[in-house]
């Protein structure tokens, strides 16, 4: 298939592009390369995929020098004209929308950014899919939609009407918007609720990455809710396998939502112990209260995902963090 991957310079998008190319698809990747976090990391990911920073200009197609069948374009989802022109020219079979303004805490201070990217940008994607007869739209949602849900594990059949951050609210809005377009226009749509994705080339705003960076710079790490947090940390390779399975499974009733989570939540303090072992360094710890927008527990019920997509996470925390630590040390060339 010819597949559009939005957010191709992002953590998950970068891995997904290389996976889809490896199994024979042709890929157009787009990303606005915003400065929410270090753009050097985004350009490094692109460089790893054979897209040279010196060749990137807004709206210009760049052919990968390393991966046959991969084209990258710097493009913003809010650029309706540019996005619609791309759809008209490329005739995509499938769209995988991973582009979004990420981050729970950032949404507390920058709310309009989330509406622009996650609502208006996603609307442009839906409209383009409608106008150009896309066979399947797969899009990123988030475990944050479960909000203050006290039932664990979180199941896709649970009520998700109580988000505790604007980021979560925009992700839930995406699910409702996708359902509407699926119902009205027959666009097959699959939403994927990701649970705390980690691994090499990850996002510097994520806690595990911040911990590693602080440890290597001999700075204290801040542990919220006094470490009394459970997170369903899910390794990047497992996430990408889940996305690939979803792309290949068009829902029979045109609409589906799945959890992609490890189904084995780790206590945050235990996770830090494993990270310290992987980095072979000890952290100075500062314990703080709960942050606004945070929830104490995330845990995915993946029974439906296993049954319908045949997906099962395989990577242990020890193995995943060792791979992350090895990459981190190599990338930053820390002493």
Catalytic residue among 37, 146, 167, 235: 167
DSSP string, 206-251: SHHHHHHHHHHTT-PEEEGGGG--EE--EEHHHHHHHHHHHHT---
98 and 13 Cβ atoms separated by less than 8 Å: yes
Distance set, CA 155 to CA 118, 182, 192, 269, 289 (Å):
23, 22, 12, 25, 27
- Give me Rg for the CA atoms of the chain: 19
Beta-bridge mates of residue 58: 74
CA proximity to 250, closest of 317, 182, 162? 182
Burial status of residue 79 (CB atoms within 10 A of its CB: 0-12, 13-18, 19 or more) = middle
Tell me how far apart the alpha carbons of residues 265 and 234 are, in angstroms, rounded to a whole number.
Answer: 9
Buried b (16+ CB within 10 A) or exposed e, 163-183: bbbbbbbbbbbbbebbeebbe
Question: Is 208 marked active-site?
Answer: no
CB atoms closer than 10 angstroms to residue 220: 11
Bond from prior residue into 87 cis (ω within 30 degrees of 0)? no
What are the backbone angles phi and psi of residue 184, rounded to the nearest 5°?
-80, -35
Beta-bridge mates of residue 5: 29, 96
Sign of the torsion formed by the C-alpha atoms of 313, 259, 156 and 169: positive
Tell me how far apart the alpha carbons of residues 265 and 296 are, in angstroms, rounded to a whole number.
Answer: 11
Burial status of residue 54 (CB atoms within 10 A of its CB: 0-12, 13-18, 19 or more) = exposed
Residues acting as catalytic residues: 167
């Amino acid at each position: 298939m010819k597949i559009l991957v939005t957010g191709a310079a992002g953590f998950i998008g970068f891995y997904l592009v290389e996976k889809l190319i490896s199994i024979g698809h042709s890929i157009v990747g787009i990303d606005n390369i915003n400065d929410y976090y270090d753009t050097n990391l985004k350009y490094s990911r692109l460089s790893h995929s054979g897209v040279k920073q010196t060749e990137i200009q807004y709206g210009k197609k760049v052919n990968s020098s390393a991966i046959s069948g991969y084209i990258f374009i710097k493009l913003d989802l809010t650029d309706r004209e540019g996005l619609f022109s791309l759809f008209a020219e490329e005739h995509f079979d499938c769209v995988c929308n991973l582009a979004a303004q990420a981050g729970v805490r950032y949404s507390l201070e920058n709310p309009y950014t989330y509406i622009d990217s996650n609502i208006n940008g996603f609307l442009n994607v839906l409209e383009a899919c409608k106008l150009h007869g896309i066979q399947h739209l797969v899009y990123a949602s988030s475990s944050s939609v479960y909000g203050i849900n006290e039932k664990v594990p979180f199941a896709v059949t649970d009520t998700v009407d109580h988000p505790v951050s604007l980021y979560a609210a925009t992700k839930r809005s995406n699910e409702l918007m996708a359902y509407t377009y699926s119902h009205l226009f027959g666009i097959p749509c699959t939403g994927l609720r990701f649970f705390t994705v980690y691994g090499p080339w990850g996002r510097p705003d994520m806690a595990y990455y911040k911990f590693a960076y602080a440890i290597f710079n001999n700075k204290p790490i801040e542990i919220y809710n006094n470490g009394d947090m459970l997170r369903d940390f899910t390794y990047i390779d497992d996430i990408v396998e889940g996305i690939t399975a979803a792309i290949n499974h068009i829902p029979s009733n045109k609409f589906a939502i799945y959890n992609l989570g490890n189904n084995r939540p780790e206590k945050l303090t235990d996770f830090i112990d494993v990270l310290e072992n992987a980095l072979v360094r000890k952290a100075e710890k500062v314990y703080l209260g709960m942050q606004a927008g945070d929830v104490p527990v995330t845990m995915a019920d993946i029974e439906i995902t296993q049954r319908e997509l045949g997906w099962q996470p395989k990577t242990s925390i020890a193995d995943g963090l060792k791979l992350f630590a090895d990459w981190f040390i190599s990338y930053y060339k820390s002493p």
